[in-house]
Amino acid sequence: MTTTVVRNEGPAAVEPTPTVGSHVRDYWSRVRGGDIGALPAILGLVVLCTVFAIMRPSFLTAGNFANLFTQGAAVTLIAMGLIFVLLLGEIDLSAGFASGVCAAILANVATKLGYPWYVAVLAAIVTGVVIGTVLGFLVTKIGIPSFVVTLAGFLAFQGIVLMLISGGSNIAVNDSTLVAIANRNLPPVVGWLLAAVAVGGYAAAQLLRHRKRLSRGLVTDPIAVVLGRIGALALILGVAVFILNQERSRNVLVSSLKGVPIVVPVIAVLLILWTFVLHRTSYGRHVYAVGGNKEAARRAGINVDRIRISVFVICSAMAAVGGIVAASRANSVDPNTGGSNVLLYAVGAAVIGGTSLFGGKGRVLDAVLGGAVVAVIDNGMGLMGYTAGVKYVVTGVVLLLAASVDALSRRRSAVSGTR
């Protein structure tokens, strides 16, 4: 009988060993087939940075580079959690104010009650977990659409923030450790050390995987591509650490300001943690499965309800982390913490980074790439002296653009069958 693709011999797994050329061609055909991944975010980042650098030379200074990280940190962290919810095709509109509630809890525990910083952080994260559990329960067990549940949460949490900080005023965050998260830097040596550890760890993981697959006779990426990836990471981290280790202080005699902001390794560790969870554990596999085809997942024996509740828990817990960073950066918590544009920036970051609003497609790295784009727009337009109004409009347009790219590439891949 006939087979669609007849090979001369051998089992299914015997494929021609990929070369660098075929690897590039494969990638290009995937992109053309609609699987564009993070390409728009990276291109957008390059274009935006070039434009801002030409218009405002101060954009390219080491000081502003460091600012980008601290400005984008909270949004990026919230977006990381949102990606889990988006992977299931759900949405969490309450993530912004959930981060506000958690920040208010943090400030109350640390400042008003005077507990040490770790108790306050724990309390904030537990609050996030509780919020997520409630949201997840309402969506999964009661069956209310997540849009409605989290829209209700959006309103209610806004009120809870007001109540927690007893109307209008704000609560200062003075604890030196908490303030350090978003305001202090690592000593330059430690920055280099962490970068070296990161590159070394990545190289070890990649090479080990390569060798293991080779020894099992499985198809591997060409070694040149593997080495290229490691080299690219080393280059990016090296340049970033080098720039951040430059002196950024206006007056060195008064105070020295250099080194990697502490929030950067915080983001990096969470990025690695959640990437590991999504791609290397069966829990992560099941998240993708439920996002791709809920019925197939159910028939495969996956507890779909548990997965659905868990993503809301992760999302709200990450919102808590984002809230802690926001409180640290502002040195205080006020009624607007986690409010205004935070949520939409976070959703925008995830979508701009390449996570699909239709579920089933996305990576935690998307939050970092998209968060960088959002931070660059916000920062660059601020430097150019545009008002908040213009910034909102531009960010809204960029979000719309990203969502259109998502929808169009989805349509394209439906045609070429490579979603």
Partner 1 sequence: MSTTPLLELRGIDKSFGPVQVLRDVALTAHAGEVTALVGDNGAGKSTLVKCISGIYPADDGQFLFDGSPVSIHSPREAAALGIEVVYQDLALCDNLDIVQNMFLGREKRSGIVLDEPTMEQMAAETLAALSVRSVKSLRQHVSSLSGGQRQTVAIAKAVLWNSRLVILDEPTAALGVAQTAQVLELVRRLADNGLAVVLISHNMNDVFAISDRIAALYLGQMVAQVRTTDITHAQVVELITAGRSGALGLADANAGSAGNGTGSTDTISGAVR
Chain residues that interact with partner 1, rule: CB under 8 A: 1-7, 10-13, 15, 212-213, 216-219, 280-282, 285-286, 288-289, 291-293, 295-297, 299-302, 360-361, 413, 416-419
What does the block give as tokens for 49? 């940075």
Closer to partner 1 by Cβ: residue 13 or 253 = 13
Q: What is the DSSP letter of 16?
A: P
Instruction: Tell the burial category of 395 from Cβ atoms under 10 Å away from its Cβ (0-12, 13-18, 19+).
Output: buried
Closer to partner 1 by Cβ: residue 5 or 253 = 5
Closest separation between CB of residue 66 and partner 1, Å? 35
Closest separation between CB of residue 362 and partner 1, Å? 10
The three-state secondary structure class of 81 is helix
Alpha carbons 355 and 358: distance in angstroms, whole number: 9
Alpha carbons 322 and 318: distance in angstroms, whole number: 6
Q: What angle do CA 178, 183, 187 make, to 5 degrees?
A: 105
Closest separation between CB of residue 207 and partner 1, Å? 15
Closest separation between CB of residue 8 and partner 1, Å? 9
How many C-beta atoms surround the C-beta of residue 324 within 10 A?
Answer: 29
Closer to partner 1 by Cβ: residue 112 or 280 = 280
Closest separation between CB of residue 60 and partner 1, Å? 39
Alpha carbons 183 and 330: distance in angstroms, whole number: 9
Contact 356, 291 (CB under 8 A): no
Closer to partner 1 by Cβ: residue 229 or 285 = 285
What does the block give as tokens for 405? 């790219």
Closer to partner 1 by Cβ: residue 181 or 302 = 302
Closer to partner 1 by Cβ: residue 30 or 184 = 30
Closer to partner 1 by Cβ: residue 184 or 298 = 298
- Which residues are CB-contacts of 350 (< 8 A; sequence separation ≥ 6)? 79, 82, 83, 86, 362, 366, 367, 370
Closer to partner 1 by Cβ: residue 341 or 413 = 413
Closer to partner 1 by Cβ: residue 84 or 288 = 288
Closest separation between CB of residue 275 and partner 1, Å? 13
Closest separation between CB of residue 142 and partner 1, Å? 25
- Which residues are CB-contacts of 253 (< 8 A; sequence separation ≥ 6)? none
Cα–Cα nearest to 376, from 35, 59, 23, 17: 59
Contact 106, 121 (CB under 8 A): yes
Closest separation between CB of residue 266 and partner 1, Å? 23
Cα–Cα nearest to 410, from 146, 89, 93: 89
Cα–Cα nearest to 159, from 291, 313, 338: 338
Continuous segment of H or E residues that includes residue 400: helix 388-416
Closest separation between CB of residue 373 and partner 1, Å? 24
Closest separation between CB of residue 287 and partner 1, Å? 11
Q: 261: which strand partners?
A: 185
Q: What share of the chain is helix, strand, coil (3-state, %, to 5)?
A: 75, 0, 25
Closer to partner 1 by Cβ: residue 234 or 277 = 277
